[in-house]
Chains A and B, each alone.
Chain A
Amino acid sequence: MKAIEIQGLTKKFGKLTAVDNLDLEIEEGDSFGFLGPNGAGKTTTIKMLIGLLRPTRGTVRIWGHDMFAEGKEVKKSFGFVPDFYSFYESLTAFENLEFFAALSGIPKGERGKRILELLEVFSLEERANSKVGDFSHGMKQRLVIAQALLPHPNLLILDEPTLGLDPRGQFEIRELIKSISQEGVTTFISSHLLVEVEDMCNKVGIINSGRLIRVNSIENLKSEIEAPTGIEVRIECEEVTPEIIAVVKEVEGVRDSGVEGKTIWARVESSDITPTLTTCIVTSGGRIRKVEEHSPSLEEVFLKLTEREGGQG
């Protein structure tokens, strides 16, 4: 079953098209990274996805139900983590969760137990009765995710969940989200950080200037970029002789090569060629110390894809 189906989703703010004719499908069990630079339209898309913002055009279906026609039903089936934290600061963590549990439709008798359970998972049980206003950013972020999980949703939508956290906090949140998706919850995570998406997601969609420019698995996306650019193999030898240089040039699939000190580098179509390269070097009398393959990082893929397609920052 499809967790999310978005068709022709468009949002205009005056002249600005923040989201432009976006089509997207997320399968049940997917862990989807919605990647884009600042101002790409991630938050706007998510707001329409969960019914906070009326689209200019297009439809959103969650678990097969239309968001705008059957909003109340649909909202029972997902949890949402907004991009900026949004609790009642003067109330305690417990009071906040109690309120959102009530709004989520959890029966009164079950609320307390569920809240304590989540506070424990998120290591907040000792601060249950402290005012949320006194919480650190990391604690607030954990609390807002706990809030989203209250009704045992089977879909979790998170807008930049690690924004503003220190590396330790980011790591904790990522681990939490990973464990949630391992339990079978479909996740939709927006982010402008590639490492994050690489770490947490199996599928990624890249949005830039309101347009979805790629949807793919992370591996496919990387190889898609590898094909035109190729990967670089760096082989360090004890000595680089002219013979070796010549022989490397001749290997099929090598597009370019060169020497830097005792290292010979070659740009090749794929890493399948590396063994051939090393064999050739050895048979020409070279002694290899180290072989390194440098494939483009997702970072480069991302920069490349978002470079010129729309031209905004």
Chain B
Amino acid sequence: MILDVIRKEIKEIRKTRRLLVIGILFVVATIACAVVSAQWLDKGPNEMINGGLYGLILMFVSLLALMLAYDTIVGERNRGSLALVFSKPIGRGQFFLGKFLGVFLLTTVLFIVVSSFGYWLNAAIFGEFPSGAEVAAAYKFFFAVLLVILCWISFAMFFSTCFKSAAVSLITTLILWIMVLPMISQIPLHIYAEQQGQIHIPFELGEISFPIWVKALYAVNPDTCIGELSGHLLGSLPFSSSILTTGQSIGAMVIFAVVFFVAAFWLFRRMSLE
């Protein structure tokens, strides 16, 4: 049954305009990034995906995950299909998991295909193909991005389960993603650095050792964690130094994904359709 739910979810999402719009933007941005990096910035594929420009492209992936997941539950609730589903002998957990996996698979496939295309396009234009080790590092990084996708889907599905209005779910999700989580992540860091007499973040970060609570808050935002990970997996850029280790970054993302998934799952199993 879970496969049927996944299949239905993918079929349904494929027909939404959201997927088309964000997907096209993502493809165009990836191609532009590949071309610009190779032609004008003189960056090969691994340097490209470790750079700031590519960081912006990853925002599309996060956005895609959020936009596909924010109404997974509340949308079905409002359209009434959830009532029909709950009248059937399928476990709620199965249904939830099926929807989760449907969104995840779709986002993942799109991400891997488009990113691989951008990666190799850049290599072709750059005129120098990456070594086996570089390719391995790049795909390790892509794999890590899947964790970010998991985080944002759990996150958005949590709010989708909490609220009775799709608009509220969307706005909450987006505001937390764009503003609140980055603030939680960055502000303590800046305050602490300033207290220590370090004003020019991030250039001199390496000189400070941060206390655990600053690191913990810093790690709250999955987008931050993936930035840290890119440095670890693809080689640090000369001017940036890391605050979190590889293990800490991955751990933080796993915790984030699990917490929101479990909370959403729990709420969904207890949902009463009033």
Chain A, residues 86-116, CB within 8 Å of chain B (1/0): the string is: 1111110001001110111100000000000
Q: List 27 A-B contacts (CB under 8 A).
A: A47-B83, A47-B273, A50-B87, A51-B86, A51-B87, A52-B83, A52-B86, A52-B273, A53-B273, A73-B89, A75-B88, A76-B89, A84-B80, A85-B80, A86-B83, A87-B84, A88-B8, A88-B12, A88-B79, A89-B79, A90-B16, A91-B8, A91-B11, A95-B11, A99-B5, A104-B89, A147-B84
How many residues of chain B are within 8 Å of chain A by beta carbon? Answer: 25
Does A54 touch B at the CB level, under 8 Å? yes
CB-nearest residue of chain A relative to B2? A102
Contact A86 B84 (CB under 8 A): yes
Asked whether A86 and B273 contact (CB < 8 A) given A91-B12, A95-B8, the answer is no
Contact A72 B91 (CB under 8 A): yes
Does A82 touch B at the CB level, under 8 Å? yes
Does B113 touch A at the CB level, under 8 Å? no
Does B4 touch A at the CB level, under 8 Å? yes
CB-nearest residue of chain A relative to B4? A102
Does A80 touch B at the CB level, under 8 Å? yes
Does B81 touch A at the CB level, under 8 Å? yes
Bound-complex Cα distance A91 to B10 (A): 11
Chain A residues, CB < 8 A from B1: 102-103, 105
CB-nearest residue of chain A relative to B85? A103
A130 to chain B, nearest CB (A): 14
Within 8 A of A (CB), among B1-44: 1, 4-5, 8, 11-12, 15-16
Chain B, residues 71-97, CB within 8 Å of chain A (1/0): the string is: 000000001111111111111000100
Within 8 A of B (CB), among A1-56: 13, 47, 50-54
Other-chain contact of A104, B81, B88, B95, B274 (Cβ < 8 Å): B88
Contact A103 B90 (CB under 8 A): yes
B266 to chain A, nearest CB (A): 15
Contact A99 B80 (CB under 8 A): no
Bound-complex Cα distance A90 to B5 (A): 15
Contact B89 A52 (CB under 8 A): no
CB-nearest residue of chain B relative to A86? B80
Contact A103 B12 (CB under 8 A): no
Within 8 A of A (CB), among B158-180: none
B193 to chain A, nearest CB (A): 50
Given contact pairs A78-B87, A86-B79, A104-B89, enumerate 15 new A-B contacts (beta carbons under 8 Å): A51-B86, A52-B273, A53-B272, A53-B273, A71-B89, A73-B89, A75-B89, A76-B89, A86-B81, A88-B12, A88-B79, A88-B81, A91-B11, A95-B11, A103-B85
Bound-complex Cα distance A69 to B121 (A): 58
Bound-complex Cα distance A100 to B86 (A): 11
Bound-complex Cα distance A86 to B78 (A): 9
Contact B89 A13 (CB under 8 A): no
Chain B residues, CB < 8 A from A72: 89, 91
CB-nearest residue of chain B relative to A84? B80
Contact A82 B80 (CB under 8 A): yes
Contact B4 A99 (CB under 8 A): yes
Within 8 A of B (CB), among A267-292: none
Contact A80 B80 (CB under 8 A): no
A78 to chain B, nearest CB (A): 8
Contact A52 B272 (CB under 8 A): yes
B267 to chain A, nearest CB (A): 14
Within 8 A of A (CB), among B31-77: none
Chain B residues, CB < 8 A from A100: 84, 88
Contact B89 A90 (CB under 8 A): no
Other-chain contact of A103, B16, B89, B272 (Cβ < 8 Å): B89
Contact B11 A52 (CB under 8 A): no
Bound-complex Cα distance A190 to B34 (A): 61
Contact B11 A13 (CB under 8 A): no
Task: Pick from B82, B90, B91 the residue with the most CB of A within 10 Å.
Answer: B90
Other-chain contact of B84, A73, A82, A105 (Cβ < 8 Å): A82
CB-nearest residue of chain B relative to A133? B15
Chain B, residues 241-274, CB within 8 Å of chain A (1/0): the string is: 0000000000000000000000000000000111
